[in-house]
Amino acid sequence: MDEATIDRLARRVGGRFKLATLVMKRLVEINRGSQLLVEPDTDNTLYGVLKEIDLDIIRLMPRLPAPEEAPEGGEPVVQTEE
């Protein structure tokens, strides 16, 4: 892929760091046995992942907020109505 394509993909996902994160997470999935969701043009898996991003098949999901820590008294965070 050329530099213009990489720049376009980076803008689509929110920057080069997010693009790199998305590519690495997807490559880990593929190395663990997941299949590419597109027909690869070459044997290079990286190009297949970039093609998935280009076709908007995969995207980076926003992180969920961390659960609140338990209060000092050891009381549960989730309270039920009694």
The whole-number average pLDDT for the span 8-17 is 95
- The DSSP-derived string for 35-77 is PPSS--SSS-HHHHHHHHHHTTS--PPPPPPPPPPPPTT---S
Cα–Cα separations (whole angstroms), residue 4 to 28, 55, 60: 25, 16, 21
| Average pLDDT score over residue span 27-51 | 93
pTM given for the model:
0.73
Closest CA to 58 of 28, 20, 13: 13
Name the residue ranges covered by the structural domains of the chain: 3-54
Identify the three-state secondary structure at position 2: coil
